[in-house]
Structure 1
Amino acid sequence: MDQPTVGILHPGSMGAAVAACAKTNAASVLWCPVGRSPASVARAEQHGLEPVPTLQELLDRADMVISLCPPAAAEDLAHLIAEHGFADGVFVEANAVNAERAQRIADLLPRTKAVVDGGVIGSPPVGGKTPTLYLSGPAAATERVEALFSDTAVQTKVLGTEIGQASTLKLAYASFQKASRVLVALSIGIAREHGVDQELIDIASRRTDSYLSEPEYITKTAARAWRWGPELLEAADMLAAAGLPPEMLHAAATTLARWDDVKDDGELTLTDALNRLAQP
């Protein structure tokens, strides 16, 4: 397969490092510095990306465009790409957007040869880090993206042909990974307020696995929701008293309330628990 010319929009810490990996199998990797910050310019120079004077030139030259930007800007950026025209290449929507937004972005680019839904899970590919770029979309297009990152620090995995699958996986994982870190801050905050934060850390250090890898625990959570919800409301009161935001625990208690009618149900299946959560 011929080496493609690749355009990257816009090289943040993840985008620049991913673009640098793309250089391995690309004829060149382009970016447009217009309107970008000095930090972006420095990253692009550090990773050897080729600057072009206009977005239009980038789109005219690129066989593949990878969009990696803050998720709030992803759809506006796609509108901009549509206005400038990008008809002959593959557009990789690799931002942390939901499945519906990913489909809207694909719909904005009907003249594009193919749109691939992507989601990066892991840290930027520097210093030995090897994130995975999950892909979904037309098979011929995902194969081209796989080839672009072959033998690089960016691993790839195709999930299927449906736009939205990669975005869903990214956000499903991020919802746990990122929200759990917020919960860490809240938990440590409560404990520190009463001088028991080190004890809390010692307790947690005895368990190193992740509940995300134990979906069977969902049924146990559902069966105990009737008493866990009120417990979290007590903790929310403590957060508020300490000047910490209680909303996250209020939301968790509201979620648990959807399982109130399966109190201590030892026969509950995972499917039943998830169905009750989705359709209270």
Structure 2
Amino acid sequence: MDQPTVGILHPGSMGAAVAACAATNAAAVLWCETGRSVSSVERATQFGLTPVATMAELLDRSDIVISLCPPAAAEDLARDVAGHRFAGVYVEANAISPERALRIAALLEPDVTVVDGGVVGSPPVGGKTPTLYLCGPAAASGRIEELFAGTAVRTKVLGTEIGKASALKLSYASFQKASRVLVALAVGMAREHGVDQELIDVASRRTESYLAEPQYVAKTAARAWRWGPELEEAADALAAAGLPPEMLRAAASTLARWHNDKDNTELTLTDALDRLAHP
């Protein structure tokens, strides 16, 4: 089979690294540079992606398009794609609810073949090996498996039902990300009473407790702008299943207190806890 041309929408930290892996088995990996930030340009250049001037050109040249963007933008992005004459495979790989994934599939089908995807793990750099879970038409899922064969992105097909990959991603993210928020609250409360080190000592005697890693709170604060919308999506998924969404909505509200710390790599644990208590 000829190597496909792949388009990535848009090369953020995860998208650019995933696209670079796809380049192993692709003829080219394209991205649209119009309107993107300086950091996006730097990432795309770092990972050897090929710039094009317009979305129309990207879609005209691509056999496969992978959407990896902030959750809130996923549907509008799919709507933009639907306005062009793309007729290839569209991998909806964002952290969105199964219901949103189904709406996106309805926007694009039947002209476009939609594969629902969910990335679990860190970006595939520095030895990290995330898994891209897939569901959708078998032949299309198979093409995505081939695209990432032999790369740092593992793939696993969950079946043909759109929404399963999104559900798995959000199920995992609900625990993983909400747990980090709980660490911030627990350590913050303990610090208020002067027992934060004792709390960490208690947690350290347990296995694999996030409470034993309070330094991660600062990273949580820096990523709050992305994690909050993801937890809102997960809350929507819980509500749709008849389960209480309040905890995740509350966690998203907590993350909103760090809104001004977007990608702040200089933030310390003390800074993050101070801003949590006094936004």
TM-score for the superposition, normalised by structure 1: 0.74
Identity of aligned residues (%): 77
User: Aligned-residue CA RMSD in angstroms?
Assistant: 1.8
The residue type paired with residue 81 of structure 2 is I
Which residue pairs with 1:40 in the alignment? 40
Asked if 1 retains the 8 angstrom alpha-carbon contact of 2:174 and 2:248, the reply is: no
Matched ranges for 1:83-102 at <5 A = 83-87=83-87, 89-102=88-101
Asked if 2 retains the 8 angstrom alpha-carbon contact of 1:118 and 1:133, the reply is: yes
Matched ranges for 1:116-135 at <5 A = 116-135=115-134
Which residue pairs with 2:176 in the alignment? 177
Does 2:56 correspond to 1:56?
yes
Whole-angstrom CA distance in 2 between matches of 1:31 and 1:133: 20
When residues 36 and 250 of structure 1 are mapped into structure 2, their CA distance, relative to the original with a 3 A threshold, is: closer
Question: What's the secondary structure of 2:83's corresponding residue?
Answer: helix
Which residue pairs with 2:66 in the alignment? 66
Which runs of at least 4 in structure 1 moved beyond 6 Å after TM superposition? Answer: 249-252
Alpha-carbon deviation of 1:205? 1.0
Whole-angstrom CA distance in 1 between matches of 2:250 and 2:132: 31
The residue type paired with residue 19 of structure 1 is A
Which residue pairs with 2:223 in the alignment? none
- Larger gyration radius, structure 1 or structure 2: 1
Matched ranges for 1:84-163 at <5 A = 84-87=84-87, 89-163=88-162
Question: What's the secondary structure of 1:84's corresponding residue?
Answer: coil
Whole-angstrom CA distance in 2 between matches of 1:249 and 1:178: 9
The residue type paired with residue 47 of structure 2 is H
TM-score for the superposition, normalised by structure 2: 0.75
Alpha-carbon deviation of 1:208? 1.8
Question: What's the secondary structure of 2:25's corresponding residue?
Answer: coil
Alpha-carbon deviation of 1:186? 0.1
Whole-angstrom CA distance in 1 between matches of 2:89 and 2:247: 40
Whole-angstrom CA distance in 2 between matches of 1:249 and 1:144: 35
Alpha-carbon deviation of 1:85? 2.4
The residue type paired with residue 177 of structure 1 is Q
When residues 117 and 201 of structure 1 are mapped into structure 2, their CA distance, relative to the original with a 3 A threshold, is: same
Whole-angstrom CA distance in 2 between matches of 1:161 and 1:54: 32
Question: What's the secondary structure of 2:35's corresponding residue?
Answer: coil
Asked if 1 retains the 8 angstrom alpha-carbon contact of 2:64 and 2:89, the reply is: yes
Asked if 2 retains the 8 angstrom alpha-carbon contact of 1:86 and 1:111, the reply is: no
Which residue pairs with 1:237 in the alignment? none
Asked if 2 retains the 8 angstrom alpha-carbon contact of 1:91 and 1:112, the reply is: no
When residues 69 and 249 of structure 1 are mapped into structure 2, their CA distance, relative to the original with a 3 A threshold, is: closer
The residue type paired with residue 107 of structure 1 is A
How many correspondences in the alignment? 216
Q: Which segments of 5 or more consecutive residues in structure 2 lack a partner in the other structure? A: 211-245, 252-279
The residue type paired with residue 173 of structure 1 is Y
The residue type paired with residue 180 of structure 1 is S
The residue type paired with residue 60 of structure 2 is D
When residues 251 and 16 of structure 1 are mapped into structure 2, their CA distance, relative to the original with a 3 A threshold, is: closer
